[in-house]
Amino acid sequence: MKINPLDFVLVVDDSASMVRIVANIITKVGYKNIDTANSGNEGLSLVRNTSYKLILSDWNMEPMTGLQLLQSVRKMQGAPTANDVPFVLITAESKPENIIAAKQAGVSGYIVKPFTAETLLEKIEGL
Amino acid sequence: MADLEKETYSKQEVQDLIRAELKTVRTEYGDLKQQVNKLNDDIVIQKKDYDLLKLHMARLADHIEKRKMDGTGIGCPDREEVMREIKEVGRYIDKAIGAVIARAEKMEKLVAGYVFSEKDRLLEEITHIFEACDVQDLTAQRIKKVLELMGDQEATAKKEAKVDPDSILLEHGPQMPDEAMSQAEIDKMLKDL
């Protein structure tokens, strides 16, 4: 994926620390327009109003999980964000059934926590 | 022996009747006084046993009550206290990591404003501080898992409030290090699917 610093990126995680960590790391590859959401519902609401070129989301959130956010994004019609936007799940869930479910939902990348800045940047560049 | 069918008895006859009855009792039960004392001892022993049993029953009832409160059957007598302590640990970690991230962000901004030979190395070190701060998220997830297992109402309510209840089946939280798939294994699996 060619990184355009002006692209809008959405980071979704119910952990305020994780949002700051991920946002901080992606600024290192030049992203300047980073929006953050603390829940799946908030993320979905942002996606319906802004044209994001990349979404990085946690899985384990309530009441809407990251997987459900992904499924909702993929079904979206007519929203500013394209329904095929690169969507990366960053999660502690690392069972094969999770990988399968994520793949079936149309995930673009899957990063298991704990992760390094290098892994995150490598995955974004490889999208 | 005096005639028991008679309607009236002389004093002597009554004394004879009593002696005869006492003789029968002694023959059958031995010395009455001894028997009464023995019976009394038995009652005392039984009372001790009864008191001890009562104590054990009370303790057992207490354990059962505590286990009933603990819906999962985890035998933890101070469950509520344990959950409070766990939550407090989570809050401390949250606060500490929040402070570390804030300081790291400040350091990063400070460093960014200067030009010096070791700048890139220092920025890289700050990035490692950020990476290490994911301990807050992973610890919080493990704490959540423990609280759910212990039947914490807040944790259970959050779980039940899921948009899609079936999604709970896919939420395991962080795996134990020796059970978790590595990033390389996940990448391979994603590619193969």
Instruction: Look up residue B171 and give its amino acid.
Output: E
The answer to whether A112 contacts B182, with C-beta atoms less than 8 Å apart, is: yes
Helix locations, chain B, DSSP H: 11-29, 32-69, 79-112, 119-132, 135-149, 153-160, 183-192
Instruction: Supply B159's token pair.
Output: 């779980």
Give all domains of chain A, ordered by start, each with its CATH number. Answer: 8-125 (3.40.50.2300)
Verify whether the Cβ–Cβ distance A15 to B136 is below 8 Å. Answer: yes
Beta-bridged to residue A13, according to DSSP, are none
| Distance in angstroms (rounded) separating the CA atoms of residues A53 and A3 | 10
**What type of residue sits at position A116?**
T
Distance, CA of B50 to CA of A106 (rounded, Å)? 69
Distance of CA B87 to the CA centre of its chain: 16
Interface ipTM: 0.88
Nearest to B174 among A67, A92, A99 (CB): A92
Model pTM above 0.90: no
pLDDT in tens, A75-127: 999 999 999 999 999 999 999 999 999 999 999 999 999 999 999 999 999 99
Tens digit of each residue's pLDDT (9 = 90 or more) over A11-58: 999 999 999 999 999 998 899 999 999 999 999 999 999 999 999 999
B190, A110: Cβ pair inside 8 Å? yes
